[in-house]
Amino acid sequence: MFLTKHPLRVGLFFSVIFFFLILFTIKLSSIQIFRSGYLSDKAERQQNHTVELEPRRGGILDRNGRALALNVMVYSLYANPRAMSDADKALVAEKLSKVLGFNRSVVFEKLGKSKYFVWLARKLSADVYEKIKALKLPGTAFVKESRRFYPNGNMAAHVIGFANIDNIGLQGVEYEYDRYLRGEKGMAQVLRDARQRDLLIEKEYLPAKDGDDVVLTIDETIQFIAERALDKAVTKHNARAGTVIVMDPRTGEILAFANRPTFRPDAPDATGVESRTNRAVAFVFEPGSVFKIVTAAAALEEGAFNEEDVIFCENGKYRIANHILKDAHPHGNLTFQGVVEMSSNIGFAKIAQKLGADKVYEYGRRFRFGMRTDIGMIGEVNGMFKPVSSWSKTSIGAIPMGQEVTVTAVQLAGMIAAVANDGIYMKPHYVKMVRHQDGGVVHSFRPKMVSRVMHEKTAQRLKLILQGVIDNGTGRAVKMKDVSAGGKTGTAQKVVGGTYSHSKFVASFIGFAPVEDPKFAIIVTIDEPHPAYYGGVVAGPVFKEIVEDSLKYLSAETRSKE
Amino acid sequence: MKVSDFLRIVVLVTVMSVLYINLQVKIYSFAYRGKVKQQDIQQLAEINGRVRNDIIRLRSSDHIGRELLDKNGQYQFVSSKNIVEVASDSTSSLARMMETGAQKTEGFFSKMALAFAAR
């Protein structure tokens, strides 16, 4: 009725509606057709956010799967200076400096930058994070990052090494196996709302590939035992430094590896460069009497001497060319075995003279002196073992007793392990395998035989002679009640200003135990001990403690597995 | 087309659109709720991680060794001569309990338990 009564009004009404409908259609067409590309891109940029997915850095484990290094998630604090007022900046600088122990000006300088993002403090410990969170600082926020965590403190520091704040390995296994440990980053493209909050809707997703674990040959417990014994000796004898290496002679696996001074992998800058130096592979020294094992091995293998052959030790003074060679304690006649047990310099000079320089050099090379062991640690050096053509007239007296030759601790470990292993030189190594975090093996490192240094029978004879060093000779302080062991003491004068010092020594003990079935080959070196400085007195007890405690540990482990 | 048909179509399209928008909003609502739950889970995972790391640190050789084998401490590694083995009836419930307990205890703790030996 109304429609027919007022056709003009009705027509006007619908015209207006129709007009707006046209308007909307034009606008919609404009948005949907002509500007769709531009608006889609803008929406895409606003709404989509690509998040980098950090992979979990692989762990470093001991031979029994116990963690020596792993990752933890921690918070890092950042600020957006461009969104902060001067009052905010002053407040943040004031409060943060108290919590972090920084100078106010340091914080203020960071906030003074015209940036949207500045780090204020990275990878905070849990308690510091809670304190800062409670402050509710304006213009700041936390972001999660991963940080390396070393549950054993500074144990095996020179093996494990350390990673920097960005989880990039800089030393040790962290560096040498970084390509396995670091993994691969992933990414996720997530939607963001109008407040720039990420939503749990992923448009694209590439998972991060977590890093692989590196399993070492190190035994965490034997490592602790070795480090504890080394610490005691270094402290007791006021030494400058020390090194211990424990090897399984049958496989070449390193069971313990320690240097002093040492450092904390989670705070490597807290101590000096010297503490981070891997002395066992990078520090050379004249080995002294421990090197006599080379001459003894050569003499037995070449048939030049038997155990009972008598050697006259000149009652403590013997001229070689223009040099008078002396013994620490004068001896008259000694058997070959006695010469080794008493570590007579004169006795060994005569043995070497009978063998000849070429043979002494040949056996030194058989034991791989003057060349790297290829243990796989950065910084390993060759040491110095000069060819016969470079020997002087007195070298035939000096080199057999470990002077005019420089070695590393790991080279000595390889030598004594070869003797303990019935003459077979096994390559020292400290990584057992690399495996995925779910357990699948990526790469396995098997024991590798390098060479046969001497016949099995010769090695067995030499082992018994070295047992005599402990039972009757210079290593008596090492004698153990329930365990048979063989070894050699060494007390080497250090070269200071071109001459041999009478106050600075390197005290060493190298040995193996038990004799009948060696489980361990051990080298202990203590640098500049005083006032006591003899190898048998300073380094010998370290060997003894490691052997006794490690054997107890191994027997307990065997018992717990049965 | 009649006006009534047109209006029916308009109403239908409107209702369908409203339903569609409602579903989309629900998706986003679930996404927000999921985000909250994710944060809860992350927080629990963090606590779990911290506790796990504390456990790893406390049971490490370095920590246990320092606690038990301090130079002034009473404990020492036990030699095999000082361990007494007692044969037990394997059917007894106590023996079964001990056996289960020993199996469940990690190897390292059982080794360190042997260090609790009287001099």
Residue A511's closest CA among A550, A551, A484? A484
CB contact under 8 A, B31 and A199: yes
Q: How far is Cα A490 from Cα A526, in angstroms, rounded to an integer?
A: 10
Instruction: Please tell me the predicted confidence (pLDDT) of residue A312.
Output: 93
pLDDT band at A379 (very low <50, low <70, confident <90, very high): very high
pLDDT band at A28 (very low <50, low <70, confident <90, very high): very high
Interface test with B, best of A71, A548, A553 (most B CBs within 10 A): A553
B12 and B54 belong to one structural domain: yes
Overall size of chain B counted in residues: 119
Q: Which domain holds residue B4?
A: 1-58
Instruction: Please tell me the predicted confidence (pLDDT) of residue A435.
Output: 95
pLDDT band at B47 (very low <50, low <70, confident <90, very high): confident
Q: Are strands A449-452 and A333-335 parallel, antiparallel or unpaired?
A: unpaired
DSSP letter for each residue of A108-121:
HHHHTS--S-EEEE
CB contact under 8 A, A223 and B61: yes
**Position A30, amino acid:** S
Any B CB within 8 A of A441 CB: no
pLDDT at A560 over 80: no
Instruction: Please tell me the predicted confidence (pLDDT) of residue B39.
Output: 82
Q: What stretch of H or E contains A248? A: strand A241-248
Q: How far is Cα A160 from Cα A497, in angstroms, rounded to an integer?
A: 35
Query: Which tokens is A84 given?
Result: 């902060």
pLDDT at A6 over 90: no
CB A361 within 8 A of CB A387: yes
Interface test with A, best of B27, B62, B63 (most A CBs within 10 A): B62
Identify all chain B residues contacting A557, using CB atoms and an 8 Å cutoff: 107, 111
Least confident of A69-83, A96-110, A126-140, B77-91: B77-91
pLDDT at B117 over 70: no
Instruction: Please tell me the predicted confidence (pLDDT) of residue A466.
Output: 97
Least confident of A25-34, A48-57, A164-173, A238-247: A48-57
**Position B59, amino acid:** R
- What average pLDDT score do residues B79-103 get? 55
Domain boundaries, chain A: 52-105+114-216, 220-264+285-431+460-561
Q: How much of chain A, in percent, has pLDDT values that exceed 70?
A: 98
Instruction: Please tell me the predicted confidence (pLDDT) of residue B115.
Output: 37
Q: DSSP class of residue A288? A: G
Residue A71 has φ and ψ, to the nearest 5°, of -105, 145
Convert the pLDDT of each residue in A104-128 to its tens digit. Answer: 888 888 888 888 888 888 888 888 9
- What average pLDDT score do residues A75-86 get? 88
Active-site annotation holder among A30, A40, A85, A289: A289
Smallest CA–CA distance from A481 into chain B, residue: B79
Interface of B with A (CB under 8 A): 27-28, 31-32, 34-35, 38, 46, 49-50, 53, 56-57, 60-63, 65, 69, 71, 77-81, 83, 102, 107-108, 110-111, 114
Tokens 């049965």 belong to A562
In Å, how far are A158, A164, A172, B53 from A182, measured between CA atoms?
A: 20, 12, 14, 20
Q: What stretch of H or E contains A10? A: helix A7-29
Convert the pLDDT of each residue in A125-156 to its tens digit. Answer: 888 998 999 998 888 888 888 889 999 999 99
Question: Quick one: how far is CA A201 from the chain centroid?
Answer: 43
Smallest CA–CA distance from A152 into chain B, residue: B62
Q: How far is Cα A77 from Cα A138, in angstroms, rounded to an integer?
A: 12
Instruction: Please tell me the predicted confidence (pLDDT) of residue B116.
Output: 36
A220-264+285-431+460-561 CATH, one of 3.40.50.300, 3.40.710.10, 3.40.50.10240, 3.40.50.800: 3.40.710.10
CA distance B32 to chain A (A): 6
**Domain spanning A52-105+114-216 has what CATH number?**
3.90.1310.10
pLDDT band at B77 (very low <50, low <70, confident <90, very high): low
- Catalytic residue check, A97: no
Query: Which tokens is A71 given?
Result: 């990752």
User: What are the strands, taking DSSP E only, across A261-362?
Assistant: 310-312, 317-320, 323-326, 333-335
- What average pLDDT score do residues A385-397 get? 93
CB contact under 8 A, B53 and A560: no
B48 and B7 belong to one structural domain: yes
Instruction: Please tell me the predicted confidence (pLDDT) of residue A561.
Output: 64
CA distance A234 to chain B (A): 15
Q: How far is Cα A148 from Cα A221, in angstroms, rounded to an integer?
A: 21
CB A338 within 8 A of CB A352: no
Identify all chain B residues contacting A483, using CB atoms and an 8 Å cutoff: none
CA distance A516 to chain B (A): 18
Q: Are strands A60-61 and A213-216 parallel, antiparallel or unpaired?
A: parallel
Interface test with A, best of B26, B38, B53, B61 (most A CBs within 10 A): B61
Q: What is the count of structural domains for chain B?
A: 2
Phi-psi region of B73 (alpha: psi -120 to 50; beta: other; left: phi over 0): beta
CA distance B12 to chain A (A): 18
CA distance B62 to chain A (A): 5
Instruction: Please tell me the predicted confidence (pLDDT) of residue B96.
Output: 56
pLDDT at A407 over 80: yes
CB contact under 8 A, A193 and B28: yes
Q: How far is Cα A319 from Cα A353, in angstroms, rounded to an integer?
A: 12
CB contact under 8 A, B114 and A549: no
CB nearest A556 (choices: B31, B35, B111): B111
B46 and B89 belong to one structural domain: no
Identify all chain A residues contacting B48, using CB atoms and an 8 Å cutoff: none
Interface test with B, best of A21, A56, A57, A152 (most B CBs within 10 A): A152
Name the CA dihedral angle for A451, A456, A458, A463, rounded to a multiple of 10 degrees.
100
In sign, the C-alpha dihedral spanning A275, A280, A284, A285 is positive
| Cis peptide preceding A514, ω within 30 of 0 | yes
Q: How far is Cα A531 from Cα A536, in angstroms, rounded to an integer?
A: 14
- What average pLDDT score do residues A164-184 get? 93
Query: Which tokens is A326 given?
Result: 């002396």
Instruction: Please tell me the predicted confidence (pLDDT) of residue B108.
Output: 41
Residue A69 has φ and ψ, to the nearest 5°, of -150, 135
CB nearest A224 (choices: B50, B61, B107): B61
pLDDT at A53 over 90: no
> CB neighbours of A303 closer than 8 A, spacing ≥ 6?
none
∠ Cα A176 A181 A183 (to 5°): 135
Q: What letters, b where the CB count within 10 A reaches 16 and e where it falls short, cover B25-34?
A: eeeeeebeee
B48 and B99 belong to one structural domain: no
pLDDT at B73 over 50: yes
DSSP letter for each residue of A51-108:
EEEPPPPPPEE-TTS-EEEEEEEEEEEEE-GGG--HHHHHHHHHHHHHHH---HHHHH
Any B CB within 8 A of A53 CB: no
pLDDT at A241 over 90: yes
CA distance A223 to chain B (A): 9
CA distance A461 to chain B (A): 29
Identify all chain A residues contacting B83, using CB atoms and an 8 Å cutoff: 559
Residue A70's closest CA among A161, A147, A143? A147
Any B CB within 8 A of A228 CB: yes
∠ Cα A360 A361 A363 (to 5°): 70
Q: How many interface pairs between A and B have CB atoms less than 8 angstroms apart?
A: 85
In sign, the C-alpha dihedral spanning A249, A252, A256, A258 is positive
- For all residues of chain A together, what is the average pLDDT? 91
B84 and B45 belong to one structural domain: no
pLDDT band at A203 (very low <50, low <70, confident <90, very high): low
CB nearest B111 (choices: A67, A70, A553): A553
Instruction: Please tell me the predicted confidence (pLDDT) of residue A9.
Output: 87
Name the CA dihedral angle for A306, A309, A312, A315, rounded to a multiple of 10 degrees.
80
- What average pLDDT score do residues A276-299 get? 96
CB A468 within 8 A of CB A484: no
